[in-house]
Amino acid sequence: MSDASAASRSTGSPLDRLVAFARECRRFARGILGSDAYDKYLHHHRVTGCAHEPLSERDFWRAKYRDQDHNPG
């Protein structure tokens, strides 16, 4: 944990700290469940400068599940 994140937790009202904690819990849960996969795909697409348009969220999930069906692991 960095000093900046520790300092931000010690400042602010109790409600601000509760909201920040809830956001971290949500972020963690999305990572565990894999529901942040599309967000990661979009970030990767942006960073690598792909020439084609990114898939729609619906098409992304269809392709992901199709790949999982073909390559269970």
What pLDDT, in 10s, does the model give residues 5-49? 555 556 789 999 999 999 999 888 878 877 889 999 999 999 998
Which residue in 17, 14, 37 sits closest to 5, CA to CA? 17
Residues 42 and 70 reside in one and the same domain: yes
pLDDT of the residue at 72: 83
- The number of distinct structural domains making up the chain is 2
pTM to 2 decimal places:
0.61
pLDDT of the residue at 9: 55
> Helix, strand or coil for residue 18?
helix
- Judge contact between 56 and 45, C-beta under 8 A: no
Going by pLDDT thresholds of 50, 70 and 90, the confidence category of residue 53 is very high
Which residue in 28, 55, 23 sits closest to 41, CA to CA? 55
> Helix, strand or coil for residue 54?
coil
Residues 40 and 64 reside in one and the same domain: yes
Residues 23 and 50 reside in one and the same domain: no
Residues 58 and 29 reside in one and the same domain: no
